[in-house]
Structure 1
């Protein structure tokens, strides 16, 4: 009887170990879940969105590993992001904090914002006004000016322009160095991104992956770990939404 109990316990332990190893393998090599804590990527991503990030999209660096273990340098199977990708990366200032922004500038590009209009290699991108986006700031509801932005390659996405003459609406020219990216939030007047010294250019080695799909979303009245709150707080229209 004692041997049977011991064998059963050992089988349970092995099953748990295998499950953890499989989960770590998937998280390291395939997809990792992230959640959105701020409004810097509105209207594309909202606070309370949970999304899967493809770890293999750009290859692997030390930051693909748990705890950023420095087991190797550079990127393995690395590939350059496409302009317009929504990417997760480690903040260069500390190499620990996870940030998510849109890739705007590739190595060698010249990036500038003039009068609130993004310029890439001295050419203004196309902006089309789409009306307003229901936004809130410190509990105050308002309509934020909403635009569709078209990048040089033809990819489109939505952006907000909260102020006509905000701090980042007129910038210097940023020339993206080799091995780096220039990233921006879609909430253009409420995003700490490559326009800010705190972020700056993002080394390719700091990339974690490409945001792919929203698998869960709550509006503040529900929690992922409290299913009994879901009926009142899930944003059902955002579930399984592809990110672009």
Structure 2
């Protein structure tokens, strides 16, 4: 969330500035005035103690990896409500905190990557979907079948989904394996429902994203302002589930079997 990131940056800069100012000027003045070095104001003491911790957290969170919690069913069956995931923050380039401005170009999303991003119509929040279309691709979705540049993807029926987390009003869903080039993965399909049919050409500097729970996902098919995800809105690549817990106290919902699962 933007507010947390902003608070972290402000606290890091404030404590760092206080610590540096004291080290360069204020400590010398106190020593000259009293002959002692241990008469340190409380704000300086706290800044000196907390600045290294805050700086390390900010660096790791901004440029290495960041934890997120899955809040919805849109990426089922691969990600469940309550999954805590780790996101690689340097996979698509190093970005400044708060502004998300990229200053070091490292890589670009590949088809099938599960990405965290800020949607164009909801820039205050982080969403997660799968990259289906790359710049220049023609993507169509008709009859629950994705086509890329005129080639329909193949699907293998695996049966009926029996896991937890189906949205209310959905008694069952078909579990399929979608043969996305280079990244086959499981998707859910409600047999009597088709959501978001259409045909789109992905512009340069943009991506087309979809949820794996095809009939219960608010993704590029349904966005009204633009159907595409701008490259500058990317936050990182999801790669690992490190915990599953539907609530913060894991009362009756803890699933240790999901710990350490890679995100396919």
Global fold match (TM > 0.5): yes
Report the 3-state secondary structure (helix = DSSP H, G, I; strand = E; otherwise coil) of the residue aligned with 1:173: strand
Q: Deviations over 1:54-108 (max 9, x none)?
A: 00000034xx51x336xx5x55214221100000011111422211000000000
Give the corresponding residue for 2:195: 167
Report the 3-state secondary structure (helix = DSSP H, G, I; strand = E; otherwise coil) of the residue aligned with 2:242: strand
- Greater radius of gyration (CA): 2
Paired residue for 2:157, among 129, 149, 160? Answer: 129
Q: Distance in 1 between matches of 2:149 and 2:192?
A: 23
Paired residue for 1:208, among 227, 235, 245? Answer: 235
Q: Distance in 1 between matches of 2:200 and 2:65?
A: 32
Structure 1, unaligned runs of 5 or more: none
Kept in 2, the 8 Å contact 1:89–1:206? The answer is: yes
Q: Distance in 2 between matches of 1:3 and 1:142?
A: 70
How far apart are 1:13 and its partner, in Å? 4.0
Q: Distance in 2 between matches of 1:178 and 1:9?
A: 49
Kept in 1, the 8 Å contact 2:73–2:167? The answer is: no
User: In the TM superposition, what are the counterparts of 1:151-166 in structure 2 within 5 Å?
Assistant: 151-153=180-182, 155-166=183-194
Q: What RMSD over aligned residues (CA atoms) do the two structures have, in Å?
A: 2.4
Q: 1:136 to 1:129 in 2, by over 3 A?
A: same
Per the normalisation by structure 2, the TM-score is: 0.78
Per the normalisation by structure 1, the TM-score is: 0.84
- Is it true that 1:120 corresponds to 2:151 in the alignment? no
Kept in 1, the 8 Å contact 2:75–2:129? The answer is: yes
Q: Distance in 2 between matches of 1:94 and 1:184?
A: 16
Report the 3-state secondary structure (helix = DSSP H, G, I; strand = E; otherwise coil) of the residue aligned with 2:104: coil
- Is it true that 1:23 corresponds to 2:60 in the alignment? no
Report the 3-state secondary structure (helix = DSSP H, G, I; strand = E; otherwise coil) of the residue aligned with 2:84: strand
Deviating 4+ runs (over 3 angstroms): 2-13
Give the corresponding residue for 1:237: 257
Q: Deviations over 1:24-50 (max 9, x none)?
A: 000001001111111000001111011
Give the corresponding residue for 2:33: none
Report the 3-state secondary structure (helix = DSSP H, G, I; strand = E; otherwise coil) of the residue aligned with 1:242: coil
Report the 3-state secondary structure (helix = DSSP H, G, I; strand = E; otherwise coil) of the residue aligned with 2:171: strand
Give the corresponding residue for 2:136: 108
How far apart are 1:162 and its partner, in Å? 1.4
Q: Distance in 1 between matches of 2:133 and 2:126?
A: 19
Q: 1:47 to 1:41 in 2, by over 3 A?
A: same
How far apart are 1:234 and its partner, in Å? 1.1
